[in-house]
A and B are shown apart, each in its own frame.
Chain A
Amino acid sequence: MSNPPEQPTRLSLAPDPFEFWRQIYEANERAWNASLERAMGTPAFAEAQGKLLETILSAQKTARDSMRTYLETINVPTREDIARLGEMIAALEEKIDQLDDRLEARLERFEAALDRAVARAGVEARASGDGRARSRAKAG
C-alpha cells in the first residue's frame, strides 16, 4: 500500500509477502517454464508419467473392486449396475430414434409421391378439360 503524502516518515511494518515472491516469480517465470517444458518434452518424462498413471490406476482399480464386492455382499446396487440401467435407457432412446428416422424417411417418400401424383392428376385434368373443350367446340 502506498504511503499517504502527509506522512513521509512511515514505512510498512509488514512488507507484503505475496509481493515479495511475485517479484521473484516474475523475474524467473520464463526461465523456469522453459526448463520445465524441456523436461516435460522428453521421452523419459512421458514414460515416467505413464508409470505413475499405471500405479494410480492400479490402486484405483483395487479400491473399486473392493467396494463393488462389499456392495454386492450387502445387496446394494453398485455404480456399474446403475450405469447399466442408464445404458439400457440410452439404447431404448436409440431405437426410438431409429424408428423416427425410418418414419421420417417414409413420410418424405410419401410426400414426394403425393406431390408427383397431384402433379400428374393436374396434367391429366388439364388434358381432359382441353379434350372436352375441343368436343364442345366441334359440336358448336
Chain B
Amino acid sequence: MATDLRSPLPSPWAAADSVWTANERSLDVARAVLGARDAPVGTTPKEVVWRKNKACLYRYLRATPATQQTPVLLVLPLINRAYILDLRPGASFVQSLLGRGFDVFLLDWGIPGDEDRNLDIETLVTRYLPRAVRKARQAAGVAELTMLGYCIGGALVACYTALYPDAIKNLVLFTAPITFAESGKFGSWTAKNAFPIDELVEVFPTVPGSMPDLGSKMLNPLPSTVGTYVRLWDKLGDESFDVAGWQAMYRWVNEGVPFPGAAFRQWIKEFYREDKLARGTLEFDGRRVLLGNIRCPVLNVAASADAIAPRSTTGSTLSLVGSADKQELLVKGGHVGIVVGRAASNDLWPKVADWLERHD
C-alpha cells in the first residue's frame, strides 16, 4: 500500500495497512510453509502385501493387467519417507512405471522406534529383503523380478543381489553410493577422528532424522536453507507457480526418518570409513558380499551434481559388478532431481522404462 504525498503525516491506521499489504507475499510464504505438513502425497492406490516389524511391502493397484512380464520392486533409503517415488499425481515415478505396463511393488522401511536400535544393515539385507522379494514374487506369480534401489536403498539392493542373485532379473541403482574411498564432505565429517559414532548411537537408539537432514543441508548451506524461502517468495509472485507441488517436496525434505542406531553405525563404519562393499570385505551372515557375483543386467543411474552421493561414490559401480550387460545413465542435476522434477519425468523415467522394457 502507499500513502498520499499531500498528507505529510499519515494516520497510524494507514501506516499499519501499508505495512500489512506490502508484506502480503511474506504471509503467503508462511502459509505455504505451514500448510506443507498436510500436503497430499503418495496418493496412488496400493495394497499391503507383507509386513515385518515397521517395514511394509506395497503393491500398487493397476486398472488393467500388467503388460510387462517382470515386476519392479522399489527399495527406498532408510532415512527418507517412501512417498518420494510417488510424490503426487503427475510427479510420480510409480505412476510412470504403472503407465508403461509394469507391476510395481515398493518396500517402505517404516519409521523405527527405540526398540529397533539393534536393527543393522546386515539384518535388513539378510532377513527383510529376501522375504520381501519372495512375497513380491508370490504375489505377482513370477520367478524373477527387477530390483530398483534409491540412494542407501541402492546400496542395500546391490548387497542383496550379490548374496542372492537367483531371483533378480535386473538391477537398477538410482544415485546409489557404492565406493566410499573418496566420499566427499560426508566422508570427512564422519571420519574416524571427527565423528563420535559409538557415543551417538549409545545416546540415541535411533539417530534422529534431523541429523542426516542437517548434514545434507550443510552440503549446500545457504541455498538449501535461506534460499529455499527466498526462492519461494520469488515464485509466489508468479501465478503459474505450483504451490501444491512445492509443498509436497518441502514436506518430504523436512520429514526425515530416524536411522536405527546399529544400521547407522554399520553404514558409517563399514561403508563410509572402511569402504568394505567396494573392497569386497563386507560380510553378512558369515558370507562375503562380492559385487562380482552380480551377473544380471545392471542400470546405474547417477547425477552429475550429486553432493550426497558424489560421482566418486557412484562412478565405479559398473566396474565392480560381474554383469556382462551393464549401462550407466549420467543425468544432469542433483541427488533428488532423479526422482522428482520435470527433467526426471520428461527424460530420465522414460529412459529407465525403455531399459526395463528391453530387459523384460
Contact = CB atoms under 8 A, between A and B. Distances in A.
Nearest to A40: B218
Residue among A36, A83, A93, A104 having the largest count of chain B Cβ atoms under 10 Å: A83
Interface string A8-27: 01111111111000100110
B194 A14 contact: no
Contact of B2 (A10, A26, A40, A61): A10
Interface residues of A, number: 50
Contacts of B221: 33, 36-37, 40
Contact of B222 (A7, A33, A93): A33
Interface in B121-146: 127, 131, 134
A87 B203 contact: no
Given A33-B222, A49-B189, A60-B203, A14 B196 contact: no
A29 to B, nearest CB: 6
A18 B195 CA distance: 38
Nearest to A39: B221
B40 interface: no
B52 A97 contact: yes
B202 interface: yes
Nearest to B187: A46
B5 A9 contact: yes
A50 B14 contact: no
The 4 lowest CB-CB distance pairs between A and B, nearest first, are A86-B115, A83-B114, A10-B2, A46-B194
B67 interface: no
A54 B196 contact: yes
A77 interface: no
Given A10-B5, A41-B185, A104-B134, 6 more contacts: A3-B2, A10-B4, A40-B221, A46-B195, A83-B114, A86-B113
A80 B114 contact: yes
Interface string B191-208: 101111001101111000
Nearest to A89: B115
B230 A1 contact: no
A57 B211 CA distance: 13
Residue among A1, A94, A101 having the largest count of chain B Cβ atoms under 10 Å: A1
A3 B4 CA distance: 11
Given A10-B4, A61-B202, A83-B117, A43 B194 contact: yes
A5 B196 CA distance: 63
Residue among B2, B52, B118, B131 having the largest count of chain A Cβ atoms under 10 Å: B2
B126 to A, nearest CB: 11
Interface string A50-74: 1001100110110010000000000
Contacts of A18: 23, 25-26, 233
A9 to B, nearest CB: 5
B63 interface: no
Contacts of B134: 104
Contacts of B200: 53, 57
Residue among A32, A36, A57, A89 having the largest count of chain B Cβ atoms under 10 Å: A57
A6 interface: no
Contacts of B10: 13
A109 interface: no
A82 B227 CA distance: 42
A60 B196 CA distance: 14
B3 A94 contact: no
A26 B15 CA distance: 28
Contact of B22 (A16, A25, A93): A16
Contacts of A123: none
Nearest to A47: B194
Contacts of B193: 47, 50
